[in-house]
């Protein structure tokens, strides 16, 4: 049995961040798991969208699933990198995750995300007050260099209110992961755009960082496609790496 609760955060500019909290009857995982989605097919999915809601049941963990505010704000963009309202939403999410960890005796946070969700998973792992691991599948390094930024830009213009959109390489350079956190990136071998324009810069920037790992999946697949076996096998390796960071 699992208990679910939807949390709604309202922004002063009118955005909504919806977060689903799920708590199992018996908590088996020492980590809080936070899931972000990537690009969404607007014709198929009605927001809020909660990524890996079903497959994460195997964790028997306290989980938070976040839905990108852009999906409720506009019917046009299919992607948003959780940028709208970040100035107000991030402090609240940081407070929420820290409180859930403290109240339940959890040792840290696993931030999950594919593509755009991978970008925000890494960003949050690096800036969170709580120790944690980012597990990102084919993340963008710089959202502004992703072709679908052009789709998001008309909505973003005037709505980001001067907020920064830092590339992952910039974050790694200016705030490299502390000893109590790690970044694990996995990418498919036919995800050519991301390998060239996003993963290669991250690889170059992180080459001297022992708590950043990049894994190439030789599965013949393109962007944002990953089997359940590959996902959870990769995540298990990421957890092992996270556990060994401080050793």
All domains of the chain in start order, with CATH: 2-244 (3.40.50.1820)
Q: Where are the alpha helices (DSSP H) in the chain?
A: 69-73, 86-104, 116-127, 149-156, 168-174, 192-194, 200-205, 228-244
Please check whether residue 202 is in contact with residue 169, taking contact to mean a CB–CB distance below 8 angstroms.
Answer: yes
Bridge partners (DSSP) listed for residue 4: 22
pLDDT value for 247: 33
What would the pLDDT profile of 39-81 be if each residue is shown by its tens digit? 999 999 999 999 999 999 999 999 999 999 999 999 999 999 9
Average pLDDT over residues 154-178: 88
pLDDT value for 244: 59
pLDDT band at 161 (very low <50, low <70, confident <90, very high): low
Paired tokens of 139: 């993340």
What would the pLDDT profile of 77-127 be if each residue is shown by its tens digit? 999 999 999 999 999 999 999 999 999 999 999 999 999 999 999 999 999
């Amino acid at each position: 049995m699992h208990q679910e609760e939807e949390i709604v955060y309202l922004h002063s500019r009118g955005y909504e961040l919806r977060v689903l909290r799920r708590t199992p009857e018996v908590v088996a995982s020492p980590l809080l798991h936070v899931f972000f989605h990537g690009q969404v097919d607007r014709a198929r999915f009605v927001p809020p969208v909660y990524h890996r809601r079903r497959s994460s049941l195997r964790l028997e963990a306290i989980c938070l699933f976040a839905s990108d505010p852009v999906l409720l704000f506009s019917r046009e963009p299919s992607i948003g990198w959780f940028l709208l309202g970040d100035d107000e939403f991030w402090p609240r999410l940081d407070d929420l995750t820290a409180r859930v960890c403290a109240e339940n005796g959890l040792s840290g946070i696993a931030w999950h995300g594919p593509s755009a969700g991978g970008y925000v998973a890494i960003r949050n792992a690096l800036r969170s007050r709580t120790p944690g691991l980012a597990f990102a599948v084919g993340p963008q390094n710089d959202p502004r260099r992703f072709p679908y930024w052009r789709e998001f830009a008309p909505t973003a213009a005037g709505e980001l209110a001067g907020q920064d959109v830092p590339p992952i390489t910039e974050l790694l350079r200016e705030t490299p992961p502390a000893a109590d956190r790690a970044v694990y990136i996995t990418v498919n071998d036919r995800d050519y755009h991301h390998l060239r324009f996003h993963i290669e810069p991250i690889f170059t920037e992180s080459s001297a960082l022992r708590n950043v790992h990049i894994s190439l999946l030789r599965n013949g697949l393109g962007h944002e496609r990953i089997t359940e076996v590959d996902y959870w096998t990769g995540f298990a390796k990421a957890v092992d790496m996270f556990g060994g960071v401080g050793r």
